Amino acid sequence: MTEIYGLIRNSASIGDYVIRIENYGRDLKKYERLTDNNEVAFSAVLPGDSVLLAEPSLPIFLPFQYESEALMIRLKEPVYVTPNYTAIFYLEAPFDIVVYDEDGEIIDIFTMENPKYSLYGDPNNGVVCRYGKSSVHVSEEDVPLTRGVLPVKVRNSFNTTLKVTLIVIPYRLLKTYYSQNGRVYYSVAKVELEDKNRAVVYASKEAPRKGLRQSKIDPFKRKGIFIPTEVGRFELEWGFSIPLTRLSPQS
């Protein structure tokens, strides 16, 4: 089986793009990312001894004018969770693809879809999120390869049934993984519903399943973001079943 991510030898196919690396002159290489119409979307000239890798990453890079902090996934159908019950399901989530060399220098960044953004909370203190919509899946295999798999465990610790229509989880609580066949995964999102309007999302050390590779690229280091090691939770203080204020990406 041909691996989609990892070391790029001469070429690689990722989503609708083809990556091509060729000798360029005596001591150089040329990197090109081609669209499905064989048009050059991006190119760069590199040292002849360059070794490149491609890996999925948290969607923290694109577009460059937004500094998003979290994933927000709007559920296409609500999930009702009864008291003391844990609902387990899978959501589709966006991700970035990063091409970098052995020194960690990023050469190219692209994504499988047009990025969309939303604001969670009020305009002054809210959180800018990378936005996506997803059906609720009971199998990870139902998630298309162009979207990441976000495993979710939602527990209701309140005394009445609660409805969940969105999940917000900061990047700092997530890790990115991928399988040999190119399926992208995030670490498990654990959500505790505390009352009708409040929930807590916890960082999980639990990998989605065995046999996955964890992405080595550190998006926080690249963006110059300091992440406290003690931070392991995020409070959904503006609710988990509310209308959203959408932010449209700028062209």
In a domain, 18, yes or no: no
In a domain, 45, yes or no: no
pLDDT at 64: 57
pLDDT at 63: 60
pLDDT at 103: 87
Letter for the amino acid at 130? R
In a domain, 188, yes or no: yes
pLDDT at 249: 43
pLDDT at 248: 41
In a domain, 9, yes or no: no
In a domain, 44, yes or no: no
Tell me the residue range of the domain where 177 lies. Answer: 56-97+107-247
In a domain, 19, yes or no: no
Mean pLDDT by 10 residues, the chain (251 residues): 81 91 93 94 94 92 69 94 96 94 90 87 85 95 94 94 92 90 93 90 81 83 47 70 47 33
Q: How many domains does the chain have?
A: 1
In a domain, 11, yes or no: no
Burial class for 144, CB neighbours closer than 10 Å (0-12, 13-18, 19+) = exposed
In a domain, 10, yes or no: no
170 contact partners, CB below 8 Å, separation of at least 6? 69, 70, 127, 201, 234
Distance CA 13, CA 112 (A): 12
pLDDT at 242: 55
Distance CA 99, CA 93 (A): 20
